């Protein structure tokens, strides 16, 4: 049978350690909230700089990309938007607390409640930072695709003139004349003499 007896009296070191522990616990929630606010402002400033100052910018119109790659850019931007919104909400949650009123049932003492909220805020802060950095990664990936993705294929024009038929992609336009890039060379056609102009997906092979 066990009997409980009083332990040795607390030493000065024990009292100082208990006082320091209490001080840290009392300031724990405030420290986490301040860190969350600093991270929120810093990451928000990074995103604003990327967008507002055009530090990352590819083609101004994704319609210039091949259809498949344009769809990839759209998916990357959509994922970045969803992840960024989730990260922003978590950072706001960490900095300001949950949008709820504490229930009176099972109400904890102030120190225990603050400690539990500090733990939840720290988890939200870590996930908020991770998701926001993932958002930046997807944004940069989307811009990279607009930089290096293959361009959209241009339609070819087939123009019939009294001197023959010319087919190729548009290389330039100048005062009523049209320059087509054919398989062999650039040919300038006077549009006033054109009998027909036909848009083709691809010029026919020579001899067909």
**Are 119 and 173 in a shared domain?**
no
If one counts the domains in the chain, the total is 2
Of 54, 131, 65, 138, which is closest to residue 92 (Cα–Cα)? 131
DSSP secondary structure, 87-153, as one string: HHHHHHHHHH--SSPPPSTTPPPHHHHHHHHHHHHHHHHHHHHHHHHHHHHHHHHHHHHHHHSPBPP
| Domain span holding position 167 | 156-200
pLDDT digits (tens, 9 = 90+) for 38-94: 888 888 888 877 776 555 455 566 667 777 888 888 899 899 999 989 998 999 888
**Are 182 and 128 in a shared domain?**
no
Distance CA 87, CA 129 (A): 7
**Are 137 and 169 in a shared domain?**
no
**Are 117 and 63 in a shared domain?**
yes
pTM listed for this prediction: 0.62
Let me know if residue 205 belongs to a domain: no
What average pLDDT does the segment 167-193 reach? Answer: 75
């Amino acid at each position: 049978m066990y009997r409980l007896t009083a332990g040795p009296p607390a030493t000065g070191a024990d009292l100082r350690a208990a006082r320091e522990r209490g001080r840290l616990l009392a300031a724990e929630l405030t420290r986490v909230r301040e860190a969350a606010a600093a991270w929120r402002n810093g990451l928000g400033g990074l995103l604003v700089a990327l967008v507002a100052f055009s530090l990352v910018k590819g083609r101004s119109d994704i319609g210039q990309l091949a259809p498949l790659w344009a769809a990839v850019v759209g998916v990357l931007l959509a994922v970045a938007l969803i992840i960024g919104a989730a990260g922003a909400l978590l950072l706001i949650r960490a900095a300001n607390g949950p949008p709820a009123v504490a229930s009176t049932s099972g109400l904890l003492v102030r120190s225990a409640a603050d400690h539990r909220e500090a733990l939840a805020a720290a988890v939200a802060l870590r996930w908020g930072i991770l998701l926001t950095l993932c958002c930046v990664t997807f944004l940069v990936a989307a811009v990279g695709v607009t930089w290096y993705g293959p361009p959209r294929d241009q339609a070819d024009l087939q123009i019939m003139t009294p001197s023959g038929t010319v087919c190729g992609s548009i290389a330039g336009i100048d005062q009523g004349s049209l320059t087509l890039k054919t398989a062999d060379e650039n040919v300038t056609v006077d549009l006033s003499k054109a009998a027909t102009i036909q848009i083709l997906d691809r010029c026919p092979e020579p001899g067909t």
